[in-house]
Structure formats: C-alpha cells, structure tokens
Amino acid sequence: MRSDEKSQGSGFIGSNLVEELLELGYKVRVLDNLVTGNIQYLPLDHPRLEFRYGDIMDLKTLRAAMEGIAGVIHLAAASKVLPSLKNSTMATFNVNVNSVGTANVLEVAQQTGTVNWVSSSNGSV
C-alpha cells in the first residue's frame, strides 16, 4: 500500500477523491486548514486515513505532513476570483495561496524526496 498526501481534502472534490483512494487500497494523509471544506465529509474512522489540520503556507506543518509519503495530490487553492477584483487584500491572499502555497508544496516535495505529483485547478484560479 502506498501512502499519498493530499493538500485540501475536505471539500467536494477532495473528499470524493479521498474516498476513491481509500477504496483503491491507498493510505491517505490529508492536510487541510478547513477554510472551505468540512471535516464531516471525511471518513475519519477509516484505518488508512490520517487527517492533519494545517496550511500549505506553514512550511513546518507542510514538511511534517509530507514526510514519508509516496506522492502528493495538490488541490489547495483560493478560488474566489471575482470578489478579489474588488478587494485588494483578498487578491493578495489569493496570489499567496495559489502561487506561494503551490511553490511551498513543490519545494517541500523536493526536500522530502516526494517525486509523484498531481496538481489540479479549475476555471476560476
């Protein structure tokens, strides 16, 4: 059984992906700050699921979450683009999470030797 880490796993796409990975026999570690997701969507009692509360902007937390994993499925993103056009603070937040956050995940993946990488996006990012 391989262990895969997911960043942002409690939203609609992430929680469904977690269920599918578990059904396929994977061990899954989810790192999520629960800003947009809901922990109730995850089968927390599943023996192959490990949930870690944290944020991809926190390198120490991210590094700890990515130790000893085989791959990353990166779903974490700030996707509310339209409100950020009217609010410069939100725009800065979106850039930080989407660009700097993704760079953090890539950097830590390189440091921890995590070579398998899947990234996802949508039309609003």
pLDDT digits (tens, 9 = 90+) for 18-57: 999 999 999 999 999 888 888 999 999 999 999 999 999 9
The CATH superfamily holding the domain 3-119 is NAD(P)-binding Rossmann-like Domain (3.40.50.720)
Backbone region of residue 19 per phi and psi (left: phi > 0; alpha: psi in -120 to 50; beta: other values):
alpha
Write down the pLDDT at residue 1.
Answer: 41
Write down the pLDDT at residue 89.
Answer: 67
Question: In angstroms, rounded to a whole number, what is the distance separating the alpha carbons of residues 31 and 38?
Answer: 13
Write down the pLDDT at residue 5.
Answer: 47
* pLDDT interval class at 17 (50, 70, 90): very high
DSSP string across 13-49: HHHHHHHHHHHTT-EEEEEE--SSS-GGGS-TT-TTE
Question: In angstroms, rounded to a whole number, what is the distance separating the alpha carbons of residues 89 and 80?
Answer: 13
pTM for this structure? 0.82
* pLDDT interval class at 103 (50, 70, 90): very high
Write down the pLDDT at residue 101.
Answer: 87
pLDDT digits (tens, 9 = 90+) for 56-92: 999 999 999 999 999 999 887 776 666 666 666 666 6
